[in-house]
A and B are shown apart, each in its own frame.
Chain A
Amino acid sequence: MSNVIGIIRALNSGVKHLAVKRFTLRYPEQKLKFVGDGFQFNPETGVGIAGLRGRHILFHENCTGCQLCSVACEGIAEAISMVKVAETWKHNKKAIMPQIDYGKCVFCGLCVDACPFYALYMTNDYELSSFSKSALIYTPAQLAIKPNISQDVEIKISDRGASHG
């Protein structure tokens, strides 16, 4: 008898969910909202600023070509290589800047921690898939572009359950 009650109770707890809104986020129509503009780092205090660790953004006016990001990436993913850039900056005599291979990058963000000149941050852009391996290699010019994506869905919790709106 207790078995029958147990099965009825189990069925009942499942049936209750017929009236509850679905929890699933309907990606790609909906995109989840993140904290801030991505992971950043303050070299003065040595502490990062919370944010999603997505695709990098490179500020050409700050980059000195010191290669510290590339050194940090050695032994982790070896995704960063320094390449020649056409533009000339007074503070970047060698005219080299990081180029990132997203086929190798593990998004640990230790390159951002290594940058002492506020030149390399990370952004909320995580949709990096492509049809070829070469398109995954982002040149310094591509890294300078600020991503423009609308991510605005937040989780809603009410008495009847949670949903993504």
Chain B
Amino acid sequence: MTTQLPPGMHLETVDDKIMTLNVGPQHPGSGHMRLIIKVDGDYIVSCDPDPGYVHRGEEKMAEYRNYIQNIPHLERPVIHDSSNILYPYCLGVEELLGIEVPERAKYIRVIAAELNRCVYILYWLAIYGIFLGHSTMFMWPAGDRELFIDLLEAMSGARVTHAYLVPGGVRNDLPSNFEERCLRQVAYFEKRLKEYEDIFYQNPLLKARTEGSGILSRTDAIRLGTTGSVLRASGVDFDVRKKEPYDVYENLDFQTVVMKEGDSYARSRIPYLEMFESCRIIKDALKKMPKSGSVRTKLKPNPKGGNDEVYRRVESGRGAIGYYIVSNNRPEPYRVKISVGSFRNLICMPYLLKGEKLGNMPAVYWGLNYWPVEADR
């Protein structure tokens, strides 16, 4: 018997050996997205990620607001990494409007971006730990994250959605005792980071679950267009901060962390090692920063961009974030396109999960450094 189906729809053939599982969109282990997983016994046969449950139309919203009013809503996709997602927007708008940024503001922006990167990575590490069943690794990063949140709060006035970076510099200058406080807390945090090594990364239980699972080769990583920690874990030395330095990153002393293995363990370790580099950048930037001076170039009310387009990108906690902004002589941008790291890393999921055990799914999934809200925009 054949049934007439509407065009584009098809009936699913059911195999009594293969079972289909829906992980998400409400399952706390999947984030706000669904993974359609087909399992044969305990082994995953295929995986089909289904994002889009938290699509908020940020790009369309940006077309109806002027360049300053766009700031609060554009940081919503990743509230933990809000400075980094605003960074390319600010760089792009500065180029469109032809604004010069004061030297001190450039350093403050770098410090804000690196503090925010640590906040994001610690939050990610806490989730990664709890979904592998390691509850200490949930408590420790979630607690140590407060150190950076307190610093960002003193700096910008808000704990998560900072709205601190603006086209033309930053909203306000650093408070008076910030430098000393920042150095003290960062030094303490570096000591804490070394304890993570013993309890989590050298833990044989973690190694047994993640080493050799979900291997992404160097050629596949490049072919699939991955970015950020996923790309660097597969042995590709690519970091936007090094390759296309923006603001003052070329003056600062840091290294790109690269690992060759390409498995879940390497992918989980790269962000951890990057936090050491972030601490180095913060300390170096505080040392090299001009001690006084303007931090914000005054804009005209309702600034207009010319008939122009611009593309700028930065390195965020999840990889390269790019903004493509088109303006047409109006106070609002004509088009804003956000290219995010999470969405580009999502494509590896079907390749990595094939042949894995179902119990290892969280290790591979969260190792991708994927943030569903950012991918949906």
Contact = CB atoms under 8 A, between A and B. Distances in A.
Contact of A48 (B65, B153, B171, B188): B171
A39 B162 CA distance: 12
Interface in B277-296: 294-296
A7 B173 CA distance: 47
A38 B171 CA distance: 14
Interface in A107-123: 107-110, 113, 122
B72 A106 contact: yes
A139 to B, nearest CB: 24
A80 interface: no
Interface residues of B, number: 43
A12 B154 CA distance: 35
B279 to A, nearest CB: 15
B172 A34 contact: no
A75 B65 contact: yes
Interface in B63-111: 64-66, 68-69, 71-73
A154 to B, nearest CB: 9
A35 B295 contact: no
A49 B158 CA distance: 13
Contacts of B154: 34-35, 50
A110 B71 contact: yes
A3 B207 CA distance: 10
Interface string B131-158: 0000010000001001100100111111
B347 interface: no
B26 interface: no
Interface residues of A, number: 43
A155 B185 contact: yes
Interface stretch (B195-203, B239-247, B366-374): B195-203
A157 B204 contact: no
Contacts of B155: 50
Contacts of A32: 150
Contacts of B200: 10
Interface of A: 2-3, 6-7, 9-10, 12-14, 23-25, 32, 34-36, 38-39, 41, 45-53, 72, 74-77, 106-110, 113, 122, 155, 157, 162
Given A50-B155, A51-B157, 9 more contacts: A24-B143, A47-B295, A47-B296, A106-B161, A108-B161, A109-B163, A110-B163, A113-B171, A162-B188
